[in-house]
A and B are shown apart, each in its own frame.
Chain A
Amino acid sequence: MTVPIYISAEDLEEVVHLVRRQYGYDFGDYARASLQRRVIRCMQKAGCLTAFELKYQLTNDERFFAWFIESLTVNVTEMFRDPAFYKELRNTVLPKLASYPILKIWHAGCSTGEEVFSMAILLHEAGLLNRTRLYATDLNPANLERARQGIVPLQNMKEYTSNYIQSGGTNDFSSYYTARYENAIIHKEYRKNIVFATHNLATDQVFNEFQLVCCRNVLIYFNRELQNRVMTLFSNSLAPLGYLALGMKESLLFSEARDQFDVVSPVVRIYRSKT
């Protein structure tokens, strides 16, 4: 049996403080339960038996820190995750957005790009892709580097195809990518309107105005206070009557910004700015 690796709440705060002071990444307002679990996972992978060892490595080894950040942030994503959400986008949101001559959409916390590729496919099928600019941001540069290549593991494509069909897609899903060895490469024409850039929701500001902001399953890693700040950031980033899409279990109910939004779909969590 392996010795269980553990980090106390106090040591966790010291690690957060160290990372902020030395590298400028602020995890101070991240929800502690999952942060603690992920730090322990990093310690296991790196063979750090104690919090002291972790802090020592972080202080003295920049490459270790880069690895730590990549492992600490959650980079799990799927194409057409929650098909019901994409169906609602197709049926309710995109027809409304079609009236704009130019569309701007922000995917905040885009990870390796799977959701923004899904959105580009939806926009293509709605005839809107050519007049849309998609901004996909993440705090992790390694994620963005991968997303820019448009590469998705081929082994996931069977599941994504099923998701796509459930979302109401009627095209041949394989016409959107080329399979090569273990990878599927999303065709360039569906990626050409996507701008990938680093943006840290915890520290960075409004940078444009959007008709739709998608931020699904990112806020769950933040505490209530940071969630409120980010919700204000989204509110200030939305064009009048712009849409906000959250994850299936993320609710505006607990947020101070709830009065600024109407509920478009209570099940798939699509909201619309009142002003």
Chain B
Amino acid sequence: MTGCRVVAIGGSAGSIPVVTALLQALPTSFPFAVFVVLHRLKNVTSSMDTILTSKGRGLVIGEPDDKEAIVAHRVYLAPQNYHLLIEADRTISLDYSEPVHYSRPSIDVTFESIAMAYAGSAVAILLSGANQDGADGLLAIVRQGGVAIVQDPATAEYPVMPQAAINRNKNAVVLTPEHIASFLHTLND
């Protein structure tokens, strides 16, 4: 794939080890922004960004503020208790509306917004989880010409979420975590 501007990773239960492995597998320099949406508890102090940073080999990983401009070669973690959306001018908008699939942040919300803003230059990856979030979002990514990748349910600690996405998306590419990692390397051109 050429011209990738954004990679979005969505995960729920059982996805943290895979997210960590994918972040570690990123090339040392990459010309796109990475968004990570994880289902998390709210109203508790979270150190998820620190955890991911400590395993991310010098990557810049952080929870963005509202209206922050998106920069390549950076990893944005959706903050607790907010949906994360992308504006047409490539800034971040946070949103505190109703949870989607009992989740805020919701993977669908971010994927659909990325599909709208980035169209064919987006890659979305859906990992292990125990609900239906992300399936509609991947559909939007594919409709807008982007690439949708789903973790092979056989390799997922919780296969429900990736399986739901596969059932909904005939065009989704199903890969093992290792293959997703090597795919990320091909995006470097």
Contacts and interface: CB of A to CB of B under 8 A. Distances in A.
B113 A220 contact: no
Contact of A33 (B68, B93, B96): B93
Contacts of B109: 37
Main SS class of interface, A? helix
Interface in B134-148: 139-140, 143
A159 B68 CA distance: 31
Contacts of A254: 65, 67-68
A249 B64 contact: yes
A37 B63 CA distance: 22
B66 A34 contact: no
A199 interface: no
A57 interface: no
A25 B124 CA distance: 37
Contact of A249 (B94, B139, B168): B94
Interface stretch (B19-27, B78-86, B152-160, B174-182): B78-86
A76 B86 contact: no
Contacts of B81: 81-82
Interface in B104-127: 109, 112-113, 116-117
With a 10 A CB-CB cut-off, give which of B45, B88, B94, B143 has the most chain A CB atoms. Answer: B94
Interface of A: 1, 4, 9, 31-34, 36-38, 74, 76, 78, 81-84, 159, 162-163, 166, 217, 219-221, 224, 227, 247-251, 253-254
Interface residues of B, number: 33
10 contacts: A4-B139, A31-B85, A33-B113, A34-B85, A37-B113, A78-B43, A83-B43, A84-B45, A159-B43, A250-B66
Contacts of B98: 76
Contacts of A84: 45
Contacts of B65: 249-251, 253-254
A34 B116 CA distance: 12
A74 B104 CA distance: 14
Contact of B87 (A32, A217, A227, A253): A32
Contacts of B186: none
Contacts of A227: 67
Contacts of B45: 84
Contact of B95 (A78, A221, A250): A221
B46 to A, nearest CB: 11
B88 A9 contact: yes
Contact of B94 (A159, A220, A224): A220
Nearest to A78: B43
Contacts of A247: 66, 96
A82 B43 contact: yes
A249 B97 contact: no
The 8 closest A-B pairs by CB, nearest first: A33-B85, A251-B65, A34-B95, A31-B93, A74-B97, A217-B96, A220-B66, A220-B94
A172 B95 CA distance: 32
Given A33-B113, A74-B95, 20 more contacts: A1-B168, A31-B87, A32-B87, A33-B85, A33-B93, A37-B95, A37-B113, A76-B98, A81-B81, A217-B96, A220-B95, A220-B96, A224-B91, A248-B79, A249-B66, A249-B79, A249-B82, A249-B94, A250-B66, A251-B65
